[in-house]
Structure 1
Amino acid sequence: MSYINNLKTFVRVYELGSMSAAARDQRVSAAVASARIGELEKHLGTRLFSRTTRSLQPTEQGGIFYKGARRILEAIEEAETAIADAARNPRGSLHVAAPLGIGKRLVAPLIPDFRARYPNVDIRLRLSDRRLDLTAEALDLAFFLGTPEESSLRIRPIAECPRLLCASPAYVARRGMPRNGRELVEGGHDCLLLRFPGAQEFVWTLSTPEGPRRFEVGGAYESDDGDVLTGWALAGHGIILKPRFEVAAHLEAGRLVPVATETPPFDVTLALLYPHKRLQDPKARVFIDFMVRACRAELAAGGG
């Protein structure tokens, strides 16, 4: 910014015809103002003012340079005003991804509230339980449950979400109530499995009195769509591992019940992921701030 400050000081010296007056205008000392003019003259290789003990007059080169410097400062002022306006009234499109359960139950219902506040920002929401590559798929932001593998992305944590294992009362009546992960595995319970690309085995890490333990689980039902798994669980086909907020309504209505409560799964982090550069985008910045606040409020209100 030193060169810009030098230009500002030069313009005010030219317009006010006085080094001391320009210094007061710029809220610096006369020595600093004089040094700034000296730096400009050294950089340009020419005198911008003719100085005597009683007067200060712009040179011919100073007059030429003033016109250009004035245009530069006006352009900077216009650009800064445009940025400030964009921050107050952002516009454009944001391509946002979210897992199905989070997207349907948490994110999508908040989009109209965001749009009411920022009507010039269009949201292109993609819902998928498969892992997405933000760069390859031209996404601006993505909601994420867990720990991302891509370290080059910025992470904005939203909340720690409790998870649980649950099944329908019909399934428990037919197959029995597993109290912990050991009974889950040894009892051959049907686990409803979320399939990710490249997954070789299904492991649920549960909290035991001895600490975290990995349980290899299996079952005849698997899908890359979490809502499909929930539907199978409601129909009595097996046990699912879910964030509590995704199945809260079913638990409250008694359509699902917690199982293996002695060894619950660990909480999972809900976060927003985005490339570093997106933080400089006003529409991305207001979306991130809005969603973090709104999602936290919704999760707190819903017991998630």
Structure 2
Amino acid sequence: MAYLDNIRTFIRVYELGNMSSAARDMRISAAVASARISQLEEHLGVRLFQRTTRMLNATEQGNIFYPGARKILDAVDEAEAEVNEVTLVPRGILHVSAPLGVGRRLIAPEAAAFRADYPLIKIRLRLSDRKIDLAMEGLDVAFFLGIPEDSSLRIRKIADCERVLCASPDYIAARGEPDSIEALRSAHDCLNLRYPGAPEFRWPLQTKDGPKRVEISGPFECDDGDILTNWALQGQGIIMKPLFEVSDYIKDGLLVPVLRQHPPVPIQMACLYSHRRKQDPKARLFIDFMVARMAQSIGDLRLETLL
């Protein structure tokens, strides 16, 4: 097991490019991570990383060793999955990611119920609105909104989520409601989700001629969708949000739908998982559990029922 732990540590250090980050990800100290790498290097008789006080880079030998090490780890994970499936006692740690709104409103509320059914499975939930790399971040399951770019992963669609443009009553009192797409574009402050690598500043709106991507602008951008919602509640502008994220605010009158004649195009919600020959049973159980509940929550929600 020590040698396998060393390989796992090497893979996380290689993928994250940082000893401290890998140690935090594995919940060990940086000293333990460094010792494991040193043991592996001594066993192999080569240096896997060039270390300086500021940087850590894989050597040529490290680059050669990584693909084989990854195959070893994948093979062990698949073997463990097969054993767990035969014994019908799924156990272990499940690393899951989701956008902030999805995680807080749909996944976290159901986590306790899942643990009640499967007490030997531990959940490590990471929430972020930025783009996630499943393999590089050591994730088992990644929930997302939109269209994934990585076709090498398996995808399971959950639902098409209704979206809505909305603003606070204070904003509408001060600025009025946009009565056209052109007014939204030219005369209103729009609050945009923006993170490194985000492709554009456009909102997809439905028109009589089909979907149209509308260039928007405003005083605030953020890579945290909940901050955008808070700014909208403070009267700072108009947001485009999945309905499930703002339904309570709309129901309570704290946010008001606008430009309803041109609603946003619905967005796909789905989850990604690795394309292994044998899917980890704990991942499959978690996906099945969450997909059923998330699909029901989204499917039961309609804007007209909130107004």
User: Do both proteins adopt the same fold according to a TM-score greater than 0.5, normalized to the shorter chain?
Assistant: yes
Is 2:223 the counterpart of 1:248?
no
Q: Could you tell me which residue of structure 2 aligns to residue 276 of structure 1?
A: 275
Q: Is the 8 A contact 2:159 2:299 kept in 1?
A: no
Q: Could you tell me which residue of structure 1 aligns to residue 220 of structure 2?
A: 221
What residue ranges of structure 2 are gaps of 5+ in the alignment? 1-79
Paired with 2:199 and 2:135, the residues of 1 have a C-alpha distance of: 25
- Following superposition, the deviation at residue 212 of structure 1 comes to 1.3
Q: Is the 8 A contact 1:158 1:292 kept in 2?
A: yes
Q: Could you tell me which residue of structure 2 aligns to residue 288 of structure 1?
A: 287
What are the equivalent positions in structure 2 for 1:1-304 lying under 5 Å apart?
82-86=83-87, 88-187=88-187, 189-199=188-198, 201-277=200-276, 280-303=279-302
Identity %: 55
- The Cα offsets for residues 51-91 of structure 1, whole Å up to 9 and x where unpaired, read as xxxxxxxxxxxxxxxxxxxxxxxxxxxx99944444x3210
- Following superposition, the deviation at residue 303 of structure 1 comes to 4.0
Q: Is the 8 A contact 2:167 2:258 kept in 1?
A: yes
Distance 1:279 1:173, change over 3 A: farther
Distance 1:115 1:278, change over 3 A: farther
Query: Partner letter of residue 130 of structure 2?
Result: R
Q: Could you tell me which residue of structure 2 aligns to residue 69 of structure 1?
A: none
Q: Is the 8 A contact 2:141 2:272 kept in 1?
A: yes
- Following superposition, the deviation at residue 181 of structure 1 comes to 1.7
Q: Is the 8 A contact 1:140 1:278 kept in 2?
A: no
Query: Partner letter of residue 156 of structure 1?
Result: R
- Following superposition, the deviation at residue 119 of structure 1 comes to 0.5
Q: Is the 8 A contact 2:85 2:281 kept in 1?
A: no
Q: Could you tell me which residue of structure 1 aligns to residue 55 of structure 2?
A: none
Q: Could you tell me which residue of structure 1 aligns to residue 73 of structure 2?
A: none
- Following superposition, the deviation at residue 280 of structure 1 comes to 1.7
Paired with 1:126 and 1:152, the residues of 2 have a C-alpha distance of: 22
Paired with 1:102 and 1:277, the residues of 2 have a C-alpha distance of: 25
Q: Is the 8 A contact 1:99 1:143 kept in 2?
A: yes
- Following superposition, the deviation at residue 183 of structure 1 comes to 1.6
- Following superposition, the deviation at residue 244 of structure 1 comes to 0.3
- The Cα offsets for residues 229-266 of structure 1, whole Å up to 9 and x where unpaired, read as 00000000000000001000000000000011111111
Q: TM-score, normalised by structure 1?
A: 0.70
- Following superposition, the deviation at residue 301 of structure 1 comes to 3.8
Distance 1:89 1:301, change over 3 A: farther
Q: TM-score, normalised by structure 2?
A: 0.69
- Following superposition, the deviation at residue 279 of structure 1 comes to 5.5
- Following superposition, the deviation at residue 192 of structure 1 comes to 0.4
Paired with 2:82 and 2:199, the residues of 1 have a C-alpha distance of: 54
Give the count of matched residue pairs: 224
Query: Partner letter of residue 137 of structure 1?
Result: E
RMSD: 1.9
- Following superposition, the deviation at residue 210 of structure 1 comes to 1.4
What residue ranges of structure 1 are gaps of 5+ in the alignment? 1-78
- The Cα offsets for residues 120-146 of structure 1, whole Å up to 9 and x where unpaired, read as 000100000000111111111100101
Q: Is the 8 A contact 1:180 1:261 kept in 2?
A: no
Q: Is the 8 A contact 1:169 1:255 kept in 2?
A: yes
